[in-house]
Amino acid sequence: MEHLERGGITPLEIRRKVFHLILGSMFIVLLAYDRDMRWVFTLVFLLGLILSLFQSRWNIPGVTWLLDRFDRPEESTKGLGIITFFSGAVAASLIFPQDIAVHATIVFTFGDPMAYVVGKGFGRWRVPWNYNKSVVGTVSFFLASGASALIITEEPLLLAACLLGALTETIPTGSTELLDDNLLVPLSAGGILLLLSLLI
């Protein structure tokens, strides 16, 4: 998610984006290796929800240390970034066939971090319908996810998913914390790939 608040690229956001890349890459490899890994992802997601609930009332050793380094101060839900990341990956792995779920995960794993870095560094023109997103960040999402998809899969049809994913990331979600691009991007990318697979 590309936030255009003042202050430039922060160490917190860099940590979050690096974690996003590492976690997403793990999802891609594990899901490509074994479709049944989706059930492991689901269990981890549910465990994360439980820990978030407990963490909101009590400090859990280890969990508190982790969240202090990755949570945004303005987020009221503990571990929101990790929860929404898992929600997108889990939803894609449960809804779509294995190959489409892997491809959808590729799109939001590699597109989102590049959109943030380039958008924060060079984003001057805002997307008309979402002032928190920049045109250059959106283009960077498409280019980064598209290049990654072609390198990993050599499947040109994935470019359609990358384009839709980039546009989906610009959708305003207001104050709805759990409905963010980590969930919407893989679902939109997987949806267009499923549609294309049925039509072509």
What's the mean per-residue pLDDT of the chain?
85
| Residue 140 and residue 119 in contact, taking contact as beta carbons nearer than 8 Å | yes
State the amino acid at position 64 in one-letter form: T
Tell me, what DSSP letter sits at residue 123? -
State the amino acid at position 171 in one-letter form: I
Q: Please write the tens of the pLDDT for every residue from 88-106.
A: 999 999 999 999 999 999 9
pLDDT band at 7 (very low <50, low <70, confident <90, very high): very low
Q: Is 130 helix (H, G, I), strand (E, B) or coil?
A: strand
Residue 27 to residues 79, 102, 109, Cα–Cα distance (Å): 18, 8, 9
- Asked whether the predicted pLDDT for residue 178 surpasses 80, the reply is no
| pLDDT of 9 | 78
> In the structure, how many helices (H) and strands (E) does the chain have?
8, 2
CA dist., res. 13 & res. 10, Å (int): 5
Residue given tokens 């940590």 in the structure block? 15
Domain boundaries, the chain: 11-199
pLDDT band at 177 (very low <50, low <70, confident <90, very high): low
